[in-house]
Amino acid sequence: MQVHLAAALGRFFPFINDPDYFDPAYTLSLLADWEFDARLKPAKGFPLYYGWLGAISDAHAKVHSGLAIACPVLSMHSDEADIVLDWRHIARWSRSLGPDVRVLAFPGAPHDLILARSEIREEIFSQLFAWAERAVA
């Protein structure tokens, strides 16, 4: 089903869901580097509730109109798009969050940045902590 149609439907019927939307290949690919409890992160994910898609769509509209967040903001993304996130959208719309936004890209990182390979993850944490030190100084 088209995401926009599901989001619109979710505004009226928030608990309609698609239990089979998630590709288990992603979760299974994490097993090479990570141990995790499959009860908390099952291979097929959790049902995708259309009401959640509606809430995301509403939040995106607010971001697109500008939020004016007064505190420093750090936005980080991969350099690859997936079924959920498009890094180009993150890079573009992050700048509308407020006057003090830092946008960082991490080539080769997956959707879940912190689950990246160790060398990429080290760079992510290095940049994150450096930004945090500057932000609270």
- Please indicate, yes or no, whether residues 92 and 30 belong to a single structural domain of this protein: no
- Please indicate, yes or no, whether residues 26 and 79 belong to a single structural domain of this protein: no
Task: Tell me the pLDDT tens digit for each residue of 30-60.
Answer: 666 777 787 887 877 788 899 999 999 999 9
Is pLDDT above 70 for 111? yes
- Please indicate, yes or no, whether residues 35 and 82 belong to a single structural domain of this protein: no
- Please indicate, yes or no, whether residues 76 and 130 belong to a single structural domain of this protein: yes
- Please indicate, yes or no, whether residues 137 and 78 belong to a single structural domain of this protein: yes
Collapse the DSSP code of 110 into the 3-class scheme (helix H, G, I; strand E, B; otherwise coil) and give the result.
coil
Domain region containing 89: 68-137
For all residues of the chain together, what is the average pLDDT? 89
- Please indicate, yes or no, whether residues 26 and 44 belong to a single structural domain of this protein: yes
- Please indicate, yes or no, whether residues 61 and 45 belong to a single structural domain of this protein: yes
Percent of the chain with pLDDT over 90: 57
- Please indicate, yes or no, whether residues 75 and 123 belong to a single structural domain of this protein: yes
What does the alpha-carbon distance between residue 2 and residue 83 come to, in Å, rounded to a whole number?
12
- Please indicate, yes or no, whether residues 10 and 56 belong to a single structural domain of this protein: yes
- Please indicate, yes or no, whether residues 8 and 19 belong to a single structural domain of this protein: yes
Domain boundary among 65, 86, 109: 65
- Please indicate, yes or no, whether residues 85 and 55 belong to a single structural domain of this protein: no
Domain boundary among 44, 65, 86: 65
- Please indicate, yes or no, whether residues 82 and 101 belong to a single structural domain of this protein: yes
Helix-strand-coil split of the chain, %, nearest 5: 45, 10, 40
Domain boundary among 65, 95, 118: 65
Query: Model confidence at 131, in pLDDT bands (50, 70, 90)?
Result: very high
Q: Are 3 and 48 in contact (CB under 8 A)?
A: no
pLDDT in the model for residue 15: 94
- Cβ neighbours of residue 68 under 8 Å, at least 6 residues apart? 98, 99
